[in-house]
Chains A and B, each alone.
Chain A
Amino acid sequence: MSDQTPAPRDEAENLPAAPGTTPEPVQIGVRHGMFGAQDSGDTSGYDGLVSPILFPATAVRPYGRYFDEVADLLQEALDDRATPYTDAVERVVVDRDELTLFIRREHLLAVAQALRDEPALRFELCLGVSGVHYPHETGRELHAVYHLMSITHGHRRIRLEVTAPDDDPHIPSIVSVYPANDWHERETWDMFGIQFDGHPSLTRILMPDDWPGHPQRKDYPLGGIPVEYKGGTVPPPDQRRSYN
């Protein structure tokens, strides 16, 4: 996990960058073998292959599209609110024409407030929160991903991503800023066990109230029973031979 701010790009664009000067992609895990087959031998001869799973690296300026403007405006807005931008925004990722701001969880509420209230930003609409569980990212296993849209400024969209470790799964609730996030945060608590501090009533919403565990975490099994069909037995999907 690269926490350092991106180094300025070398002026000689055509030269290969010196090691350690360009942002590194983020490794979230490793893949073994060629086909991911766990149950039987990999006959391709590549079963010893270990390849890292790399996520897009920190972006360097210029980000392109309206992303630079949003980042600058957010920086100004946060400075006005006495929350330094570099403290709040851990890193910026631009991938597939989408801007992702990784926000440190202690500053999430201030960032959300600035994004909503600053007239030049004005992201009125929060389209919920989606949890993602990366069990191999030690210390930042749980991610909460928020999608925001600004209607005022020509339907700009940005994504906020906040991480929390598995043994301290606390993220501040932004229901006070975006009331629409009420049920979405409850769903993410239900499915991933992320505790949104300050939520008015963080209870389960889709699973029964007394359900143990959080079903969409990666360590929670899919479940299912073998199905018999014409004398043969089909195991449940998570126990079948897979190619992942």
Chain B
Amino acid sequence: MTTTSDIYESGGSGRADDIFATSPADEADAEGATILNATGGDWDDLVEEATALNEERIVVNMGPQHPSTHGVLRLILELDGETVTEARAGIGYLHTGIEKNMEFRTWTQGVTFCTRMDYLTPLFNEAAYCLAVEKLLGITDDIPERAQIIRVMMMEFNRIGSHLVAMGTGGMEMGATTVMTVGFRERERILSIFEMVSGLRMNNAYIRPGGVAQDIPHGTIDAVREAIPLISKGVHELELLMVENPILKGRMQRVGYLDLTGCMALGMTGPILRSAGLPLDLRKDEPYCGYETYDFDVVTRTEADAYARLCVRLDEIHESLKIVEQCADRLQAKPGPVMVADKKIAWPSQLSVGSDGQGNSPDHIREIMGTSMESLIHHFKIVTEGFRVPTGQVYAPVEAPKGELGCHLVSDGGTRPYRAHFREPSFNNLQGTAAMCEGGQVADVIVAVASIDPVMGGVDR
């Protein structure tokens, strides 16, 4: 049989109608030129060599579009059969330049950007940023008590919502859709309260430098009191469904193990660290927003696996509900302002819902348009130019549902942040993927990553 290589090697003496045939003139031109022979043929040797090694090592890309990788997380897994020998996380697919963008907006507008980082914990992002701005301004002690109580209430509701999604999506990734539907059903109650208070279900931009955007509307405390037992009941339903479930325990116990030494080395905080037994909780250790006045416990486990993290999250929901209850009592007892008294920092107007949607309150419009020229000027200045913040840098941490969320802010004395950086807990904790997954099964990777609870909006910012 004549193969292609035979034709080339035989010097090109093909048939006359062969379009690849060469003429004597061509051959004369080619005299002395390098001749490359496309013989190939090494493949058989390669295959034999690989078979002799008896290796089944393959590298698999999981994501960035895989439904069970928590958003656009890309996992690069090196597998030996079903065993993961190496796991690496590839991130950056949701990088939106929030930190850079914040350098081009006023201090107040920055809230609108950072609330979109970890979209499951918007109020924590806002709180960390606003606490940092307030520290730079030196007005930390001037924030009205009512504003602090509202912040705490909203943050604790948000913690419950975030934990419910963590467990719900984690359950869904293991194939338990009921966990997801129950989790999202309960979260819906929280989102309704968010909508009632801030007008938005997510990306609330509700906590502002100096306080909160507006006071809670009438009926909120009743709605909160109504929601607490319902959420408690729903979470109990989740507990009945999950905690003693033999299949779930089989999937989660001794999976995604990271002991205290590993946690400390990798800078883990939040439920991951507490599941290893260290009761590190900034709400207790470095209280902000008046957390030292609330009665709650720090939940820990010692097993340091995915199941322990699940238990920590479930118990933290009950602790958060305790705090929310205390907030409701205080809010009822203590009316008052929700924005710092300094009119050079406080946003000039409150919002209200009119017949044409949400907007500035009619009273404020009447004042600036009808009665006070100075108010109009002031409104214009503070809304378009913003306030100036003295030079310097600060770091303000809060205990987010996923761990320590820190905001490093630098001001050059202008109306915009000179540099805003967020130490995102998801970003840091995702480094633990390799330590938790290597040596385990492919199916355990999903459980381990779900127990880290990374949200890519926060990881990539």
Which residues of A does B touch, CB under 8 Å?
Answer: 28-29, 31, 35-36, 53-56, 95-96, 98, 100, 124-128, 130-133, 145, 147, 151, 155, 157, 159, 178-184, 187, 191, 204-208, 215-216, 222, 237-238, 242-244
Contact = CB atoms under 8 A, between A and B. Distances in A.
Interface string B75-103: 00000000000000001100101011101
B267 A216 contact: no
Contacts of A125: 264, 267, 269
B136 interface: yes
A167 B266 CA distance: 32
A53 B388 CA distance: 13
A183 B267 CA distance: 11
Given A128-B423, A147-B408, A53 B138 contact: no
A243 B415 contact: yes
Contact of B414 (A31, A133, A205, A206): A31
Contacts of B100: 215-216, 222
A14 to B, nearest CB: 25
B395 A237 contact: no
Contacts of A204: 92
Nearest to B262: A179
Contacts of B138: 96
B391 A180 contact: no
A127 B392 contact: no
A98 B395 CA distance: 8
A139 to B, nearest CB: 19
Query: Is the contact region of chain A dominated by helix, strand, or loop, or is it mixed?
Result: mixed
B191 interface: no
Given A98-B394, A130-B423, 7 more contacts: A36-B414, A56-B391, A147-B423, A183-B427, A183-B431, A205-B91, A222-B100
A237 B101 contact: yes
Contact of A53 (B97, B391, B395): B391
A206 B280 CA distance: 29
Contacts of A28: 412
B266 A31 contact: no
Interface in B278-299: 278, 280, 285-286
B460 A206 contact: yes
Contacts of B460: 206
Contacts of A124: 264
A187 B268 CA distance: 18
Contacts of A207: 92, 95
A192 to B, nearest CB: 10
A216 B104 contact: no
29 contacts: A53-B391, A55-B391, A56-B392, A95-B393, A96-B392, A98-B394, A125-B264, A127-B395, A127-B404, A127-B406, A128-B423, A132-B418, A145-B393, A147-B423, A159-B393, A178-B265, A178-B267, A180-B265, A180-B268, A180-B428, A182-B431, A183-B430, A205-B91, A205-B92, A215-B97, A222-B103, A242-B415, A243-B385, A243-B415
Contact of A151 (B104, B280, B414): B280
Contacts of A95: 392-393
A243 B280 contact: no
A35 B416 CA distance: 12
Top 4 closest pairs, chain A to chain B, by CB = A180-B267, A130-B421, A243-B385, A244-B414
Contacts of B92: 204-208
A36 B414 CA distance: 9
Given A145-B393, A147-B395, A215-B100, A155 B414 contact: no
A174 B461 CA distance: 24
Most central of A56, A178, A216 by chain B CB within 10 Å: A216
Interface residues of B, number: 51
Contacts of A56: 391-392
B395 A184 contact: no
B51 to A, nearest CB: 32
Interface string B412-435: 111110110101000110110000
Given A147-B423, A205-B92, A243-B386, A54 B408 contact: no
Contact of A222 (B104, B384, B419): B104
A147 B405 CA distance: 12
Nearest to A243: B385
Contacts of B410: 132
B105 interface: yes
Nearest to B265: A179
B135 interface: yes
B31 to A, nearest CB: 44
Contacts of A187: 427
B124 to A, nearest CB: 16
Contacts of B105: 237
A84 B395 CA distance: 28
B392 to A, nearest CB: 5
A244 B416 contact: yes
B136 A53 contact: no
A54 B391 contact: yes
Contacts of B278: 151
Contacts of B103: 222
B142 to A, nearest CB: 14
A127 B135 CA distance: 19
A56 B384 CA distance: 28
Contacts of A151: 278, 280
B412 A53 contact: yes
A180 B266 contact: yes
A105 B95 CA distance: 30
A158 B391 CA distance: 19
A218 B119 CA distance: 27
A27 to B, nearest CB: 10
B91 A127 contact: no
A96 B135 contact: yes
Nearest to A124: B264
Nearest to B268: A180
B267 A127 contact: yes
A238 B418 CA distance: 14
Nearest to A217: B100
